[in-house]
Amino acid sequence: MVALLRGLYDAVALITVMVFLSIWYHWEAEKNQLIAKIELCFTCALFIYGFLQCFHAPGMLVLLFEVQCAFITVSTYISGFFMYKHKHLYDFWHPIGLNLVPALWALLVATIDCYLWSESCAATGQHHLLAGNMDYNVIVERVLFIGTQFSILYTSMYSPAEAATPRA
């Protein structure tokens, strides 16, 4: 809602689709793997969006918080592959690192950061990390393209049978 009020329509679109898919997936008792794969693509896109917003943090404290959120999210996601044998660890860390922290991160971006595609976005913030003669729009397009290709490749690596295998 905050993003919508501030005019961050790109964030609103990503968050809305991701939340809808997540609710749908959990409504079906986590059985529909096609929905899970599509949700993962949107989750990866939202992560990339949040990461790109780090380059436009309006201050060093905000930048540190956003980078820390990115680190916690990635660390939890990667460690989830190693925690499947320890269900109690996974059940504890998954909601924190993959639900709570990304939600706080998205709220911070929606509250403080600028509309990513605007020309004025490059001029915001004292600690703009992409200063200089770099073309910001080209960088954003390349990062989003690479991230989208990665998420499609990653989600296509697993068959529904492998993804549906219950954790021990």
User: What was the pLDDT predicted at 158?
Assistant: 44
Does residue 76 contact residue 94 with C-beta atoms inside 8 Å?
Answer: yes
User: What was the pLDDT predicted at 72?
Assistant: 93
Distances (CA, A) of 36 to 20, 109, 115, 138: 11, 25, 28, 30
Give dist(CA 72, CA 74) in Å, integer. 6
Q: pLDDT 10s digit of each residue in the chain, 168 long?
A: 677 777 777 888 888 888 888 888 888 877 888 888 888 888 888 898 889 888 888 788 888 899 999 999 999 999 988 887 888 888 888 888 888 898 888 888 888 877 666 555 655 443 344 444 445 555 555 555 555 555 554 444 444 444 444 444
Residue ranges of domains in the chain: 2-163
Range 33-39, long-range pairs (CB < 8 A, 24+ positions)? 33/160, 33/163, 33/164, 34/160, 36/163, 37/155, 37/156, 37/158, 37/163
User: What was the pLDDT predicted at 31?
Assistant: 85
User: What was the pLDDT predicted at 163?
Assistant: 45
Distances (CA, A) of 118 to 37, 113, 130: 30, 12, 14
